Amino acid sequence: MTHTRYAFIKARWHADIVDRALDGFLELIPAAQVDVFDVPGAFEMPLIARDLAATGRYGAVACAAFVVDGGIYRHEFVAQAVIDGLMRAGLDTGVPVLSISLTPHQYQETDHHSAIYRAHFVEKGKEAARAALSITQTRADLAA
């Protein structure tokens, strides 16, 4: 029996928070089935997701980022561009590209807020793993 492989891309901005999504993902999918890739930030995820999906090696590609208001630009625009790009990568390649990209309305770099979002990313990672397992099973059933 062969096991489906999954790609997991994580942005390095706020890595202490974003990395928790991988922790949650690996609670449901064994690490031996997951190839992990780091990118500088959320904006770089769609291109790498598309390239990884196009290899045909992965049943799904999960992407994690934390896009917050840095005071320089409207972070909602960045988040929207990322989500649009991830959706396009999936549609263009035919491989599911899952988003664990969160954009809170209010985030302050305090211990309290960081703890809340670290815990939230673990849960979002589990949700992405469930989605990856479900969609790869559905696609396998359709192909049978």
Catalytic residue list: 74
State the Cα–Cα distance between residues 60 and 70, nearest whole angstrom.
31
Q: Which residues of 124-133 are buried (b: 16+ CB within 10 A; e: fewer)?
A: bbbbbbebbb
Cβ proximity of 105 and 126 under 8 Å: no
